[in-house]
């Protein structure tokens, strides 16, 4: 598995990760199936697993995905020392909704809970502020994360759903290694707002969330002619084509596609072998 540096650190992560979110929302698969998916990802060389304290059904279920990942790692027969778990804090799930909470007292509490959910022995590899809450300054919201680094509970810090200006403010407060914003062929704001270019220039890792479009993409990938045609020509899935497009946009990009089936993570890893020409990339972008 090809590896990349995590930001400016000496840590390396796999060039493609596994997103844990669909394993913990409503309609989630049986726990045994999710653990099998995580184990297969590790077998394939995936060393980055993305999660969040809010990947759950509601507030009563908080930290579900973190507990699940921790259990899967404990049950894995192989060496997990190289595995990086990236979690997030700052969103709440009242009655299954998504709301922001940048209150430093809440973030201090949820960092501790994430630390315990992920085993409570080693530092959280990467903790990311999930989404800036306008009710609190970025400096105040990131203070608990900075404290947690100093206390040995967090190794690295990242941000999510941040603009360039907000990233700069965050970096004035703490060292930042990653940015996680929405990005795919149908949502290309990181190009227009300069976030992707900034990450590449500053050597920050960019994790595109919703890499395949998710629920915001109404049309099935198979029904998009340019993508379906390329998939058939290269004998890969339509999902591989989109993931390959993402990775071709910048060397700082590390996709984190979600999976609830073993076959899905196997397919996603196959995207690393897909090569697209400039013309093919333009065809996808125009689809």
- Residues with a known catalytic role: 55
Do the beta carbons of residue 95 and residue 58 sit within 8 Å? yes
Query: How far apart, in Å, are the Cα atoms of 164 and each of 49, 144, 192, 200?
Result: 25, 22, 11, 12
Q: How far apart are CA 189 and CA 187, in angstroms?
A: 6
Q: How many CB atoms lie within 10 A of CB 271?
A: 23
Q: How far apart are CA 226 and CA 232, in angstroms?
A: 10
Pairing of strands 84-89, 48-50: parallel
Q: How far apart are CA 65 and CA 89, in angstroms?
A: 13
Q: How far apart are CA 162 and CA 171, in angstroms?
A: 12
Backbone angles phi, psi at 258, to 5 degrees: -75, 160
Do the beta carbons of residue 33 and residue 22 sit within 8 Å? no
Q: How far apart are CA 240 and CA 220, in angstroms?
A: 14
Query: How far apart, in Å, are the Cα atoms of 135 and each of 130, 131, 138?
Result: 14, 12, 10
Q: Which residues pair with 182 in a beta bridge?
A: 209
Q: How far apart are CA 48 and CA 44, in angstroms?
A: 12
Q: How far apart are CA 239 and CA 221, in angstroms?
A: 8
């Amino acid at each position: 598995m090809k590896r990349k540096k995590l930001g400016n650190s000496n840590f390396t992560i796999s060039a493609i990760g596994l997103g844990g979110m669909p394993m913990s929302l409503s309609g989630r698969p049986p726990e045994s199936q999710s653990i099998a998916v995580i184990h297969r990802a590790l077998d394939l060389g995936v060393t980055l697993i993305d999660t969040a304290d809010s990947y759950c059904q509601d507030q009563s279920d908080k930290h579900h995905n973190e507990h699940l990942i921790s259990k899967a790692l404990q049950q894995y027969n192989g060496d997990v020392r190289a595995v990086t778990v990236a979690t997030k804090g700052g969103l709440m799930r009242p009655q299954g909704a998504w709301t922001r909470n940048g209150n430093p007292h809440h973030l201090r509490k949820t960092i501790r809970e994430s630390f315990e959910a992920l085993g409570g022995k080693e530092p959280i590899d990467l903790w990311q502020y999930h989404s800036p809450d306008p009710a609190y300054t970025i400096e105040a919201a990131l203070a608990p994360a900075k404290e947690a680094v100093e206390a040995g509970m967090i190794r690295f810090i990242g941000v999510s759903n941040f603009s360039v200006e907000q990233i700069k403010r965050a970096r004035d407060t703490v060292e930042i290694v990653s940015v996680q914003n929405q990005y795919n062929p149908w949502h290309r704001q990181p190009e227009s707002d300069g976030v992707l270019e900034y990450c590449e220039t500053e050597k920050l890792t960019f994790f595109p969330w919703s890499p395949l479009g998710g629920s915001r993409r109404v049309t099935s990938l198979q029904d998009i002619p340019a993508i379906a045609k390329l998939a058939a020509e290269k004998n890969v899935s339509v999902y591989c084509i989109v993931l390959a497009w993402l990775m071709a946009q910048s060397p700082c990009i590390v996709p984190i596609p979600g999976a609830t089936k073993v076959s899905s993570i196997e397919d996603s890893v196959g995207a690393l072998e897909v090569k697209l020409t400039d013309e093919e990339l333009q065809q996808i972008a125009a689809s």
